[in-house]
Each structure stands twice: as C-alpha cells, then as structure tokens.
Structure 1
Amino acid sequence: MLFRILRRLYLALDTTRRVTANVLFAFVMLLVIGLIWYGFRTPSIPSSSILEIDINGKVVMQPSALVGGRNWVAKMTGTRVEETTVSDVTDALRAARSDRRIKAVLLRLDHMTGAGPASIYEIGRAIKDYEASGHKVYAWSDSYTQAQWGIASHANEIYLHPMGEVKVRGLEATSFYLGSVLNKLGVTVNVAKAGAYKSAPEMFTNSAPSEDALTAQRFWLNDEWAQLSSAMETGRGLSQGYLKTWMDNYLDNLRRAGGDAARMAKETGLVNGIANWNDLRSRLAGHDCFSGACAGEFTSLGEYLGVAPLPHSSGDGAVGVVTLEGEITEESVGNGNASANALIAMIRDAEMDPSVKAVVLRINSPGGSALASEKIREALISLRKSGKPLVAYFGDMAASGGYWVSTAAQRVVSNPLSITGSIGVYGMMPTFDKSLAKLGVGVNSESTGTTGISSSPLVPFTSNAKAAAELQVSDTYAKFLYRVSQARNMTVEAVNNVAQGRVWTGRQAKERGLVDQLGTFDDAAEQAAKLAGIDKSYALKFFEPPATAGVADALLAQIASEAGLPVWIRTLAASAISAADPTSGEQKTSDFIQARTLWQVR
C-alpha cells in the first residue's frame, strides 16, 4: 500500500517536472524566435518622419567590446547604448539628406557624457551638410555642457529646459601633482625621459608644472579654443569673438536675467527657445506627444541605421577601416581597440581580404607602449608591401605612440582640432622601499643575477637600473625621430626641433610638416580610394576587434581609463605579486617596454 502511494507520488512529481521543463523550454524558444523576428524585421519609416538622434554616452570612433557586443541589438530595436560613434551620427545625417521620408532632424543631447573637439567638428560639419539640403535641424538638452552646445551650435534651432543653462567656459586643462605627497609617503618615482616637453611624469615627481610644460600647454590649448570657439560661433551665426565677450559679461547678463540661466541663454542668443522635451516634440509633431502618442512621427537613430541607404555601402572596391582607440597596449585589455594583438589581427584581415583595395587607419589615442606601437607599425608596413595604400586619420587625439603608428602611412589626414605630436619618450617605475621602512616592514631580496637591476618595486632603484633605463629611453627616442624623419621626408634634426615631447593641434602639426592634410574621416577615405584608383565608387568595410576581454577585466579597464590612471598604478598589485614570486625574476631587455610591467618606455 505504502509502496503504491510513494510510486504514485513519484510519478506525479516526475510528470510535474517534465511539464514544467517543457513549458519553460517552449517559453524560451518563443522568446528567442520573437527576438529574432523583432531584430530582423524591416522597420517602417513613415513619410514626413523626424529623425531623432539621441547622442547617448560618450562619443567615440569605435564602441568598446562590452557596448559593441550589444550594438547590433540596439540598431535593430532602436534602444539606447552607452556610447555613440561619430560615424553612426554622420552616416545617418548624410543618408537623411536625400531620404524623402525624413523631413527634419531632432538632436537630443542631455544623455551625451562627452565628446572631443575633433568629434564635435566632424558632427558639426555633417549637420551643416544636412541643412544645406533644405531641411532643419533642432537641438534640445536639459542643460548644455560645452561639448553638448558645441554640437547644438550647428543646428538651426536650439532649445533648453526652463531650469537649464548653457555652460560655455572655454577649454581647461586641470592637473594635480603628487610629488610632495608621494615623497611624504616614502614612494620614489624613478623617471627617465627624452624630450624637454614630455611632461606626463611631472604628475608623480613635482608639486607644480614646469615652465616648459606650461608654455607648451598654453600654446596648443589657445589654438584649440580659437578653432573650436570660431566653429561654434560660425555654426550659430554669431560674430567672431562673441563667445569671449559672452564669458566676460557672464555675471552681468545673469544679473539682468534675475539669476535665471535659461532666460539669460535665450536673451543672449545661445538658444532659440525654452521648452521641456515633450513640449518640443509635441510642437514639431503638431499634436500632443505625451504617453507615446508621437511614435509614428519620430524615427530613432537605431531604427534608421537599420534601413537607411547609408553612404559607401557598395562600390567597385572597398576601403578597409581599422580603428585604434585608447591607450596602446600589447595584450587585449578592456575594449581591445588599442591592443597590439587585436590591431595586428585586424590589419592582417584587411591585408588578406581581396575586396579591400586600400585602408584607412583611424587613430584616437594618447599613446602607450613603445613596443606595442612598433608592432602595429610593422603590421601596417606589411600591409603596404602587399600593394594596398594606407592613409592615417587623426581623430580627437593621435599623440606619442599614436603618432608613432602613423609613420607607416603614405598620407596623414588630421582633423584640425586633433591633439597630436608628443614625439618623446619616458619611462617610470615607483619603488616602495622607503614606504615599507616607515611602516616597519623589512624586505629581503635575493637574486642570482649580476646586472645590479631588480624588477621588484619593493627594493631601491639602483644606479645600474637608472643607467639602463636612460640608455633605453634615449635609444627609443632616436628610433622615434628616425621613423618620423623617414615618413615625413625631414631631417632628424628638423624632426627633433618640433618633437621634444611637444603637443600640437592638428592645424599646428600641419604648419610644421607633421601631417599632409587637414580634414575629416571622409576626406581620409577619399584619399585612400583615390590612391587605390577606386575614388569614383567605393564601399567602406569596417574591421572590429574580437570581444576577448572578460567582463570584469573590461569593466576594470574602463574604470581605470575613465579615471585617467596610468598603467603602472593599474598593474601595481599584479606586479607586486609577481615580484614576490622567485620564478618571476627572469629579466629581458623587452621587459622595460612591456604593457603589463611597472617600467615602460612610452
């Protein structure tokens, strides 16, 4: 009797389990099928639609791995992602020029967290090209940062939330100097550098910037602001110098507006009107847009990119596009867009692809590992030897290692607002022996080596280590000067005169022979197509790095990058662990320029 009851109970439970599993399986399958259908459906763009471009997150050349992996979903579903690429915005604007379904463009900028001056310039130029087709561009934000207003200034009409303000402040370069505090903590930052203006190590050795650093910084910063403010004034239809006068009279204008920053912005001509988001959409749609009532009148950027007739989507041949974005490292870290391993793989893919007739290397990088930069340059030279022309394009930044890589190109096109140059070399290694002594911690280091050089940050930096570092830095600088002299057809002496670690704007670099042409990415692509003989009709083929980084690694790299932390701080813990491992003491010459060691030639 009991056995039958237990058996029936077991059968009932087993049946319940099977039914539940099948129901869950069916639900998951239906969900997957639904997502596939939703993703691959062709969105319908109604006639007389307004293209709504929500520039979300940071404006970049190429999305990072974590965001990039979701971009295909975003483009199909119209959802927002945490980054927006320059090309997504400019391609949509150019496609909309001849698209009769699009009657106007509405830019939403309150979700934008940052954009470099070169990106602002490129998007602004695309906005003006769209307006030249006879259509209007509207811009809105709850408040405008300078970068947000820099883009909005090119629109026909600008709107601001009633509680918002326009924050035009000029360009700032704010740095903090840790020399005194590190000295009090007993941390010794050992530096070797080549280039009087290579000032990055000063953050860790000084209590204030050197005169050379200030002179160089003011020179490029003033030119950058002169160009950016002029572009914003022209875009807005203001007289040249208006923004300087506006900033000079800021408090007086604010007093006249009774402290109402939004009213002041309207009265001084920086915006056309005051409105919240839904009120503006309702006005443009011609009826109330609350509760999603205007869904048919607006098309999102993601939806439009999925169906728009994008420029250079087909042609007689392809111009390959490889993007180097971020700090140049040897291994895949974080977004992978500036990893030598990932870049070399993409370059080889472009070299082997028979449809690719020429390549544009887009660069947005402050530099990084000298060894990684040289490896990327060597891969680019191999591509050129295969017969494919190579053009480098400088975006927001192409400095130091970023410029090193460009020496492989036949032609260099720079955005006039790019930050470039910084042709110099430095290496840093902190040692913590004095810090540990202050805490009463003893350190013993045994080595079978006879070089007098230790890889451990826990022991003092010896005179042999300092001499070796200075010799390697000097040698790397000499190689840097030679690479530039060969690429730019200049003498080494002439290169040295404009090098020394000094930073230039794209316009200043052109005046000094460091770039061939000022322009945008489109200009660089046209140059590459012309060199390949396909300039009458060509497609653009973008090569992207594999998302090889783990989620935790990518997030940590992103946090470190956003915080502006140098590699030696990011890798301190890992290096300290390896220093405690007696098997990690093997020292090679290349250890001084490895991306994951404390000492780097950069």
Structure 2
Amino acid sequence: MNTPTKRRGCFRNGCLALVLLPLLIFAGLFWAHRSSQALPDRFVLVVPLSGGIDEVRNESSSLPFLPSHESLSLQELLFVLNHAVADERVREVLLDIRGIHTSPAKIAELRDAVEKVRKGGKKVTAFLRSAEDADYLLATACNSIIAERGGFLLLDGLKVESLFYTSPLGKLGVQVQAAQWKKYKSGIEPFVRTGASKEYLEQINALLDEFYDDYLGYVSKRRGMSRSSFEALINNDPLVSAKKAQTLGLVDGIASFWELQRQLTRKVSGKELARDNDVFVSGARYRSAVAWPQKGESDERIAVITMSGMIVHSAGEMGEGIDIEMLKNSLDAALEDKAVKALVVRIDSPGGDALASADMLQMLDSAAVKKPLVVSMSGVAASGGYMAALAGKTIFAQPLTITGSIGVYALKPNISGLAEKIGLGRDVVTRGQYADASTPFKPLEGQAYNKFVGASGEIYDDFVGKVAASRKMSIAAVDSVAGGRVWTGSRAMKAGLVDRMGGLFDAIHAAQQLAKMDMGKKLQIILYPEQKSWFESLLQGRSASLSDRFAAAVKQQVLHELLPQRQLTSMATFYEMLLTSGQLQMLAVMPSDIIID
C-alpha cells in the first residue's frame, strides 16, 4: 500500500500564502508611499502651524502609511521654507495657523524664514483660525492674512504666570531645602517662597518689556498702523470678530478654508476645486519628497548637531532631552566623517544636570579642536545650555533668544512631616557620619547642610571660570552678568555672552566660512542625532525579528496618535523627578519657561 508523502518545510499547504501575503501587502504599501511622494508641476505649499513647536521631532520612525497629526518641528519648518524659495513648482505658500504656543525667538526665526520666501518672489498667505497673539504675530510676516469666516482674534497682550508650591506642600508635610548661587537664580523660589522675589520680578519685567516691544513694533510696521493704535486695540478691544478685524485693518480678507482653497485652485491651475486636483501639497509631504535636509553641489558637508530639551546624564532618567551618550555618538559620527568640514551645534535647552552640562562642554571643546564649531541658539540656551554653548568659536543667538542664567542651585526634599501625618515609622542603622544625611525623611542640618551649600558654590565658581576662559573676560566681569541673571540674545551680545545675531542658516554660513569651504557652492548638510526613517528602523533593529519590529512600530505610532506625549516645562520635568526620587539634585536650569500664545 502506497502511503502519501507528507510535504515538509515551507511548501506545505498554506505556508507559501502566509509568507507571500505579508510581503505583497508590505510591497504595496511601500509602492503607495513612494508614489505619494511625487510632486505636481505647480502647487500651493500648505504648512500647518499649531501647538508647541519643538526644535526637532521626537518621533523619527513614523510609519508613512499611517496618518500622523504631529506638527513639523522648527528645523523641518526652516528647511521646508528654505527649499520652497528656489523650487519653481511652489507657486504660493499657505500657512494654516491654529493656536501656536512657543518661545518668542522661535516665532521670530519663523518670521525671518517667511520673509525670505517673500523676498524670493513668492506670495505667502496666512489663514487664521480664531487667532491669539502668537498666531497673529507670525501671520503678519505674510503678504496677506485671511481670517476664518465666523472666527475671531483675541489680541490681549502678553503675560507671565508663576506658581508657588511652598504652602500646599507644607500642608502635606513636605518641605524643600535649597542652596542658591546666586540671588537671580530663582528656580528655587516656587518651593521656598510664597511669592516672587524682587530679583525674579526684575528679570521677568525686563524680558517681557523686550518681547512686548518686538510684538508692537513688528505688527504695527507690517500692518501699516501706528504703534499706539495697535497698543490701544490690545488694551481696549482685545476680542474682535473676523469682520471687525478686517474693518480695523488687522486682516485682509474673510473666508472659510474651503473658499480659500477654491480661490487658490483657480489661481494656480485655472480649474475648479475637485477631488482629483493635485494643487495643495502639505509641508510633511513636501519634506518627504525633497532632498533632505539639503543636497550639496560637492561632497563637502556641514554637520548640524542638535541639543534639544533637558540636559541629563542618561535619557533613561526622563524619556526626553539630550544625554551624554547621545551627544557623544553624534560628535563621534561627525568627526569620523572626513567629508564633514565643520560643526554647527544648535541648542534649544534650558539646561539641566549641572555635572552632565560640564561633561558635555568638555566633549564639545575637544571636538572644536578637530573641526570648526559654531553655536546657534534657538528659543532658549540658558544655564547648562549656555555652558555647552561656550565651545563655539562663534555664538549666534536670535535677538529674543533666552540665554545666560549662569548660576547653580540645589534642591532637597524633606518629607518628615508627611511621614508623621501618615504614621510612617523609620529605624536606621548607619556606618559613616553622613550615611543618612541625604535621606528625604529629615532635613539637612549642621555640617551636612554647610557641605550641601558649599558644593553648589563650587559648581558656580567652576561655571564662572569656564565662561571667563571662553569669553576672554575677567572673573569679576563674568560675575557681574552671571549670578543667575537671564538675558535676551540682544542684551547678551552687549554683555559679551554671545557674538552675533542670527538664526540657524546664519550659523551654517559662518561655519562654512571658518572651514574655508567654497562659498559659491551649495553645501550638503547632515543632521545629528541621526533620525532614521521608518524603513531604516525596521531593517536595523538588533534583537527582535522583522515582524516583531514592524508590529512594535505600528503599536508605537498608534499609541502616539491616541496618547500624545504630554508637554512638560523645563522646571516641571526636574520638579517631577525631584519629588519622585527624593534625592538631592544639583541643577543648572533656567528658572522659568516663557512662551507666547
């Protein structure tokens, strides 16, 4: 009797289909993605702007066939607009603005980018959806402003709000001990005071005066009205309808977004708006279709290394920010690449861990010996962020960049009152005089407290010494502008803390000159930390299988869309770590966050 032979391996029934079907689906998605990147011969570039504008995008491996609502980062916006200037396919640019909440310097740099597009001969239109001050300030950089039909403008001015936690924490039985170097380093105040100090109010008022002056001056100039008229509107009639805004000359037209699309479609293509019209290209699609970030005319390159977020020893401490290993890997890659002739370090950081900041400066100083290094400050480069900037041969800042804050403070929580309230007992056996000194269950006292304060002073003296050496200033001169004082970029230049006013492209141009590169040729730019595409992330995973990495990428993207990462302020991030860890923290951090909304 003949017994049928069983098929084994991948040719048994159904196995081949299980292998081929996922591959066919994957290939189809890949082909669809590649096809979607082809751009029409003439189109309107639509750039959505909303929420907080991060320096760089946190998600580097988003799947192309899943929709993403994440806004473009500041650097993506700058490069997209820079590409658009010389791209003949881009006939107009439309900024779709809805609720911007970001720093004054970032708005100013975006304004500069919009002005560059205008000077390149292309019309830029702003579409405002019930705008507030930041939205309107950016919109005034455009050729025309269209308000959404039925919308409004809320132009009520600028404010800074501070919260103080000393009393509510005291009711819980929690106190915080602090060491402050020096009196302008006001980051300790929310935990040790019930109201702002005169030094803090002095700084905030000075910053707010500059931001408000820029706001009034820029808007009145661009809209052809007197400064006093615009300020009177803010003070007397802050909430206006779209119709009244047009009457007052604040906007140029009123339309729904659909109506505006119809107008632009007829203007660009001569046709009516329809589903098959390919007139509008989103900023995200355009970014994926062009050579990124910039293709050069030779093999010579400039590396832009971004330090964005809190400075920490290890990113594992908080799931964000710049850590030592990340910076080291970026510097190593840029220094080993022989085609990279110069480095631009782009800083958007309020500082962070004082010792990690010092380590990063040492690494950057070492890199600057091997290749020219220029620093570009973004929205904020203060405290530990300013310390890192000291490595630059030239330091660029925007006039409204927040910088300086040369100072140190230390915080230590004491939860003895809370322990007593809940009846928590504690018995400790130690060896060594200070073995239990840093516990959160009791305050520092006597010699232990003196050492706590003294350590902060030593770090401050070291910080001041670093600034003096780098900026070629005396210790006394540095101390006179340090002590925790916060400066705008324009005032910091007068104080000798930065060299020149300008944005990212100005710093790149200066690096090109320092490296003696051919100034007549368009140079190639590479960005670090390296952001891998979704395809590279799938192929380069080290441990999991391809299918597992694919599933993980889908899961990560879906979770990111459903539960976006919450935005933490510079102080709140460290405060959260302080109160959850219970450990002493030695910080070189900006005392506050200032955003315009």
Q: Tell me the TM-score normalized by structure 2.
A: 0.85
Structure with higher RCO (Cα < 8 A, 6+ apart) = 2
The 3-state SS of whatever aligns with 2:195 is coil
Q: 8 Å contact 1:445–1:459 — kept in the other structure?
A: no
Counterpart check, 1:231 vs 2:218: yes
Matched residue type, 2:465: Y
Q: In structure 2, do the counterparts of structure 1 residues 533 and 193 end up closer, same or farther at CA, with 3 Å as the change threshold? A: same
* Structure 2 match to 1:599: 585
* Structure 2 match to 1:450: 433
Q: 8 Å contact 2:406–2:463 — kept in the other structure?
A: yes
Provide the rounded CA distance (Å) in 1 between the counterparts of 2:272 and 2:17. 40
Matched residue type, 1:261: S
* Structure 2 match to 1:283: 263
Identity %: 28
Matched residue type, 1:302: A
Provide the rounded CA distance (Å) in 2 between the counterparts of 1:289 and 1:116. 40
Matched residue type, 1:104: E
Provide the rounded CA distance (Å) in 2 between the counterparts of 1:92 and 1:431. 50
How many residues end up aligned between the 2 structures?
Answer: 554
Matched residue type, 1:300: S
* Structure 2 match to 1:269: 249
* Structure 1 match to 2:543: none
Provide the rounded CA distance (Å) in 2 between the counterparts of 1:572 and 1:216. 27
How far is 1:159 from its partner?
A: 1.4
Q: Tell me the TM-score normalized by structure 1.
A: 0.85
Provide the rounded CA distance (Å) in 2 between the counterparts of 1:144 and 1:21. 57
The 3-state SS of whatever aligns with 1:97 is helix
Q: In structure 2, do the counterparts of structure 1 residues 494 and 563 end up closer, same or farther at CA, with 3 Å as the change threshold? A: closer
The 3-state SS of whatever aligns with 2:412 is strand
Provide the rounded CA distance (Å) in 2 between the counterparts of 1:22 and 1:512. 72
Q: 8 Å contact 2:97–2:127 — kept in the other structure?
A: yes
The 3-state SS of whatever aligns with 1:223 is helix
The 3-state SS of whatever aligns with 1:565 is helix
Q: In structure 2, do the counterparts of structure 1 residues 45 and 327 end up closer, same or farther at CA, with 3 Å as the change threshold? A: same
Provide the rounded CA distance (Å) in 1 between the counterparts of 2:574 and 2:293. 39
- Provide Cα deviations, 1:555-598, integer angstroms capped at 9, x if missing partner: 8995362595242423544x36xxxxxxxxxxxxxxxxxxxx44
- Provide Cα deviations, 1:422-453, integer angstroms capped at 9, x if missing partner: 11110101110111112222222222122365
- Provide Cα deviations, 1:298-322, integer angstroms capped at 9, x if missing partner: 1222222233367842144211110
Q: In structure 2, do the counterparts of structure 1 residues 572 and 267 end up closer, same or farther at CA, with 3 Å as the change threshold? A: same
Provide the rounded CA distance (Å) in 2 between the counterparts of 1:558 and 1:471. 38
How far is 1:183 from its partner?
A: 2.1
The partner residue of 1:68 within 60, 66, 82 is: 60
The 3-state SS of whatever aligns with 2:153 is coil
Provide the rounded CA distance (Å) in 2 between the counterparts of 1:601 and 1:304. 41
- Provide Cα deviations, 1:352-410, integer angstroms capped at 9, x if missing partner: 22111111110111110011101111111111122x01111110001100001111111
* Structure 1 match to 2:288: 306
Matched residue type, 1:53: V
- Provide Cα deviations, 1:465-489, integer angstroms capped at 9, x if missing partner: 3111111110011011111111111
Q: In structure 2, do the counterparts of structure 1 residues 569 and 302 end up closer, same or farther at CA, with 3 Å as the change threshold? A: closer
Which aligned pairs between 1:126-525 and structure 2 lie closer than 5 A?
126-250=113-237, 261-286=241-266, 293=275, 295-308=277-290, 312-316=294-298, 317-333=300-316, 336-386=320-370, 388-451=371-434, 453-525=436-508
Provide the rounded CA distance (Å) in 2 between the counterparts of 1:398 and 1:487. 16
Q: In structure 2, do the counterparts of structure 1 residues 81 and 389 end up closer, same or farther at CA, with 3 Å as the change threshold? A: farther
Q: 8 Å contact 2:173–2:418 — kept in the other structure?
A: yes
- After alignment, is 122-131 or 201-210 more displaced? 122-131
* Structure 2 match to 1:117: 104
Gaps of 5+ in 2: 538-551, 589-597
Q: 8 Å contact 1:153–1:233 — kept in the other structure?
A: no
The 3-state SS of whatever aligns with 1:457 is coil
The 3-state SS of whatever aligns with 1:441 is coil
The 3-state SS of whatever aligns with 1:192 is strand
Gaps of 5+ in 1: 1-7, 255-259, 577-596
Q: In structure 2, do the counterparts of structure 1 residues 232 and 449 end up closer, same or farther at CA, with 3 Å as the change threshold? A: farther
- Provide Cα deviations, 1:220-270, integer angstroms capped at 9, x if missing partner: 22112212432333344443444312202316xx6xxxxx62222222222
Provide the rounded CA distance (Å) in 2 between the counterparts of 1:54 and 1:295. 20
Q: 8 Å contact 2:56–2:76 — kept in the other structure?
A: no
How far is 1:163 from its partner?
A: 2.7
Q: 8 Å contact 1:343–1:545 — kept in the other structure?
A: no
Matched residue type, 2:524: A
Matched residue type, 1:406: A
The partner residue of 1:565 within 572, 582, 587 is: 572
Matched residue type, 1:299: V
Matched residue type, 1:561: L
Cα RMSD after superposing both structures: 3.1
How far is 1:523 from its partner?
A: 0.6
How far is 1:81 from its partner?
A: 4.1
Provide the rounded CA distance (Å) in 2 between the counterparts of 1:523 and 1:476. 33
The 3-state SS of whatever aligns with 1:172 is coil
Q: In structure 2, do the counterparts of structure 1 residues 490 and 276 end up closer, same or farther at CA, with 3 Å as the change threshold? A: same
The 3-state SS of whatever aligns with 2:312 is coil
Q: 8 Å contact 1:177–1:203 — kept in the other structure?
A: yes
Q: 8 Å contact 1:56–1:84 — kept in the other structure?
A: no
Matched residue type, 1:296: D
The 3-state SS of whatever aligns with 2:315 is coil
The 3-state SS of whatever aligns with 1:600 is strand
Counterpart check, 1:36 vs 2:30: yes
